[in-house]
């Protein structure tokens, strides 16, 4: 499988965070519409057996990676305030050549990352409440119960903000042009919640960058770039570090109108997790596992549904501790 970096620029507010597993689900729907259900079924063959056709990362601030989730003892000593250090969660890709203990000092918080990308002061993203009204046709106004006004959160980005997507692709099964066409379609129609009323629009900018990390020295650990399911995948529990994430998923596209659009909750590890294999070796561009399928369904309504429990990874060297 080949690894690429794509860059996208939001054109509207988003109703859903740009998470890799959510984007993969919408990618499957886009491929179904463009190529047909039979083609999608063929692409998903072997998905839960360690043979994904594509693995997509979270949307990461352009030129940055998630700072590894490590305990404070793993970082070099710093005179900065502890709370300020905790806000530094984005590592510039230029810092990858530096020793790992110094990465925290080189990392940026949301505002600094946004400034580095847009060259103007601002926030990476801001959550704002959008009011909604439902009119009672008998009274011509809002009311109580189903007709009560309500608000929903929207994510707004700094002007000129861009995000990187890292993905691994089996081009023998899906060519890069086909993937780009599907992502372009998603950008035109909208990603995530409330796409039908204008949210989630984005554009791909620039050209795909192949092998974005170049030739890096062999490491002894993996840094995940998206949510993944590392359970039972041969990682050392004592030397691996991550934050747990419970994903309460639901179907999208046409399946949202089915009898039950909700999926079973899934326990995942957030992007930025550090996973140390029990046995050295292996150079796969992703870790994790495919979830769901008829054998272990995540959706009662559609047992064939799968969920991306894979994540692209970057190899790194985690120093030994005494």
- 42 lies in a domain? no
pLDDT at 122: 83
pLDDT, average across residues 19-32:
97
On whether residue 134 sits in a domain, the answer given is yes
Residue 322 reports pLDDT greater than 70: no
Average pLDDT, the chain: 93
Residue 257 lies in a domain: no
Q: Which residues pair with 312 in a beta bridge?
A: 286
Could you report the per-residue pLDDT of 242-297, keeping only the tens digit for each? 999 999 998 888 888 777 899 999 999 999 999 999 987 667 899 999 999 999 99
Output the six-digit token pair for 106.
Answer: 């080189």
How far apart CA 48 and CA 305 sit, in angstroms, is 11
- The predicted model gives 176-195 an average pLDDT of 96
pLDDT digits (tens, 9 = 90+) for 89-139: 999 999 999 999 999 999 999 999 999 999 998 889 999 988 888 888 989
**Per-residue pLDDT averaged across 49-74, rounded?**
96
Query: How many domains does the chain contain in total?
Result: 1
In sequence order, what are the beta bridge partners of 286?
A: 312
Mean pLDDT of 215-221: 82
pTM, whole model, 2 decimals?
0.92
Residue 194 pLDDT greater than 80, yes or no? yes
Residues 6 or more apart in contact with residue 10 via CB below 8 angstroms: 157, 161, 163, 201, 202
- The verdict on residue 136 lying in a domain is yes
Sorting pLDDT into bands at 50, 70 and 90, what band is 320?
confident
pLDDT at residue 319 in the model: 86
Distance CA 252, CA 243 (A): 26
Q: Answer whether residue 308 is part of any domain.
A: no
pLDDT at 256: 81
Domain assignment present for residue 139? The answer is yes
What integer pLDDT is reported at residue 282 of this predicted model? 67
In DSSP notation, 101-142 reads GGHHHH-B-HHHHHHHHHSSS--SEEEEEEEE---BTTTTB-
What is the pLDDT averaged over residues 47-68?
97
Report the pLDDT averaged over residues 210-221: 85
First to last CA, the chain: 37
**Among the listed ranges 62-71, 104-113, 131-140, 226-235, which one has the minimum average pLDDT value?**
131-140
Instruction: Write down the pLDDT at residue 26.
Output: 96
Instruction: Residue 151: give the domain boundaries.
Output: 124-155
Phi-psi region of 261 (alpha: psi -120 to 50; beta: other; left: phi over 0): alpha
Q: Which residues are CB-neighbours of 207 under 8 A, at least 6 positions away? A: none
- In a domain? residue 148: yes
Residue 141 lies in a domain: yes
Residue 83: its pLDDT value, please?
87
């Amino acid at each position: 499988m080949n690894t690429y970096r794509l860059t996208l620029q939001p054109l509207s507010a988003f109703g859903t965070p740009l998470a890799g597993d959510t984007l993969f689900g919408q990618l499957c729907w886009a491929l179904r519409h463009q190529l047909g259900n039979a083609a999608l079924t063929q692409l998903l063959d072997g998905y839960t057996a360690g043979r994904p056709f594509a693995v997509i990362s979270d949307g990461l601030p352009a030129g940055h990676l998630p700072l590894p989730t490590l305990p404070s003892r793993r970082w070099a000593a710093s005179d900065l305030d502890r709370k300020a250090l905790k806000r530094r969660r984005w590592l510039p890709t230029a810092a990858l050549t530096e020793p790992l203990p110094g990465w925290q000092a080189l990392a940026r918080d949301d505002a600094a990352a946004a400034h580095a990308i847009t060259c103007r002061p601002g926030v990476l993203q801001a959550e704002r409440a959008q009011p909604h009204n439902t009119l009672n046709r008998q009274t011509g106004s809002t009311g109580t119960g189903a007709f009560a006004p309500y608000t929903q959160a929207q994510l707004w980005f700094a002007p000129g903000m861009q995000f990187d997507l890292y993905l691994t692709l089996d081009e023998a099964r899906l060519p890069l042009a086909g993937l780009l066409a599907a992502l372009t379609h998603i950008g035109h129609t909208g990603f995530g919640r409330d796409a039908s009323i204008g949210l989630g629009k984005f554009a791909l900018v620039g050209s795909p960058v192949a092998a974005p990390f170049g030739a890096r020295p062999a490491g002894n650990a993996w840094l995940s770039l998206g949510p993944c399911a590392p359970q039972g995948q041969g990682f050392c529990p004592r030397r691996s570090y991550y934050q747990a994430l419970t994903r309460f998923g639901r179907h999208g596209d046409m399946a949202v109108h089915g009898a039950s659009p909700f999926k079973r909750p899934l326990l995942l590890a957030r992007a930025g997790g550090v996973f140390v294999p029990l046995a050295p070796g292996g150079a796969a561009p992703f870790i994790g596992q495919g979830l769901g399928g008829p054998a272990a369904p995540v959706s009662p309504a559609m047992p064939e549904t799968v969920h991306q429990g894979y994540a692209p990874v970057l190899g790194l060297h985690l120093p030994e501790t005494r």
